[in-house]
């Protein structure tokens, strides 16, 4: 405004009474436009649609809008009943897994092991559909395959083996003597099944061994016995026996007695009818 000395409006000022400059209007928000129509069904049995990010009705970069500029969904209906695009098959076999354990009957010999694969929509390995679709699309193919494998080899006669020897038994000596014999044994087995087999499979070799032993403890004497009994009658075999009891025993067990026998003269006619 131009004013005079007295402060009253005046038209005596030089220049323009106004001034202009460029300025920017308030920023418009970025918003998504409408979704476009769905595209065609692809080999992975999905279809997509797009939308654009706009500012003031004009397209801009998608990162200025929150969310995704595309959307994918499974095609409506059963893709496998429809004609695939470009004449290509809808489905494909996946890769085989590793072979499983070697199994079979018994515990040894040749067995079999199997590996598997599954059918999926082409381009979507995470999809799960029935394997029948792939066996129909690709004849002469299967969801699994097997191969022969070797388990523990079955033993032959040369592979049977002896167990270790058992400890020797207690010393078995005749009455009145410290000198006796004791035995130890072992068993022929199938090394795979650990089952016992006949000793003939481990020959040469024996399943029993013996050794001399002393049944008396160090410094001890052989057992002592009482007086012999009178000789018994002469038996059918023309022998007679007598016995004596070991000192310190109760004379009730067979091992408490020492028995002796000798030949005797007998009249066989006496045995006829009663022997």
User: Could you read off the pLDDT of 179-227 as tens digits, one per residue?
Assistant: 788 898 988 888 777 788 888 777 777 888 888 887 776 555 667 778 8
CA dist., res. 258 & res. 216, Å (int): 17
Average pLDDT over residues 142-167: 79
Q: CA-CA distances (angstroms) from residue 218 to 67, 180, 213, 214, 215?
A: 100, 15, 12, 9, 9
Share of the chain above pLDDT 90, in %: 7
pLDDT over 70 at 86, yes or no: no
pLDDT over 90 at 116, yes or no: yes
pLDDT value of position 275: 45
**Distant-in-sequence, close-in-space partners of 33: CB < 8 Å, separation ≥ 6:** 51, 52, 53, 54, 59
CA dist., res. 207 & res. 162, Å (int): 8
Cα 117–Cα 120–Cα 122 angle in degrees, nearest 5: 125
**Rounded mean pLDDT of the chain?**
77
CA dist., res. 268 & res. 275, Å (int): 9
Alpha helices for 32-84 (secondary structure H)? none
Domain ranges within the chain, ordered by starting residue: 33-81, 97-150, 157-214, 228-275
pLDDT value of position 134: 85
3-state secondary structure 122-154: CCCCCCCCCHHHHHHHCCCCCCEEEEEEECCCC
Instruction: Give the residue carrying structure tokens 């959307």.
Output: 71
CA dist., res. 108 & res. 150, Å (int): 8
Q: Which fold has domain 157-214?
A: TSP-1 type 1 repeat (2.20.100)
List the one residue out of 222, 229, 230 whose CA is nearest residue 247. 222
SS3 208: strand
List the one residue out of 113, 205, 223, 111 whose CA is nearest residue 157. 205
Neighbours of 21 (CB within 10 A): 4
């Amino acid at each position: 405004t131009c004013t005079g000395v007295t402060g009253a409006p005046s038209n005596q000022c030089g220049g323009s009474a106004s001034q202009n400059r460029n300025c920017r209007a308030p920023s418009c928000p970025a918003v998504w436009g409408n979704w476009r129509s769905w595209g065609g069904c692809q080999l992975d049995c999905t279809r997509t649609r797009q939308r654009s990010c706009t500012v003031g009705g004009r397209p801009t970069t998608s990162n200025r809008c929150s969310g995704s500029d595309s959307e994918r969904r499974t095609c409506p209906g059963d893709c496998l009943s429809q004609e695939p695009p470009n004449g290509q098959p809808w489905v494909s076999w996946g890769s085989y897994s590793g072979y499983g354990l070697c199994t079979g009957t018994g515990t040894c010999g040749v067995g079999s092991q199997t590996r598997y694969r599954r059918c999926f929509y082409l381009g979507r390995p995470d999809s799960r559909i029935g394997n029948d679709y792939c066996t129909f699309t690709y004849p002469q193919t299967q969801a699994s395959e097997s191969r022969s494998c070797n388990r523990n080899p079955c033993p032959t006669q040369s592979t049977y083996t002896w167990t270790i020897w058992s400890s020797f038994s207690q010393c078995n000596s005749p009455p009145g003597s410290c000198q006796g014999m004791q035995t130890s044994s072992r068993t022929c087995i199938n090394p795979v099944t650990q089952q016992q087999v006949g000793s003939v499979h481990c020959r040469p070799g024996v399943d029993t061994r013996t050794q001399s032993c002393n049944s008396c403890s160090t410094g001890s004497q052989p057992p002592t016995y009482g007086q012999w009994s009178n000789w018994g009658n002469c038996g059918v075999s023309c022998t007679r026996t007598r016995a004596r009891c070991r000192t310190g025993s109760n004379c009730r067990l067979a091992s408490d007695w020492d028995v002796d026998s000798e030949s005797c003269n007998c009249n066989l006619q006496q045995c006829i009818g009663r022997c």
